[in-house]
Amino acid sequence: VWDNGIGISPRGQRRLFQPFVQIESGLDRRFEGSGLGLVLVKRLAQLHGGDISLESAEGEGSRFAI
């Protein structure tokens, strides 16, 4: 899955697959969620012998591959 959105900083990429982590925090964040979606995807992929990878650059978007 890929997009041409805001991208994810290197710091955000290191934290992205940790439970309940959201790149934007605080009351004025622009995106909703619980911070569990990618954690669950990664774990399910691993249970089936796979994994998930991420390529992203700020301002250029992100690409996730399973």
pLDDT tens track for 29-66: 676 788 899 999 999 999 999 999 999 999 999 999 99
Please state the pTM of the whole predicted model.
Answer: 0.79
**pLDDT of res. 8:** 93
What is the Cα–Cα distance from 10 to 55, expressed in whole angstroms?
10
**Phi, psi (degrees; rounded to nearest 5) at 31:** -125, 140
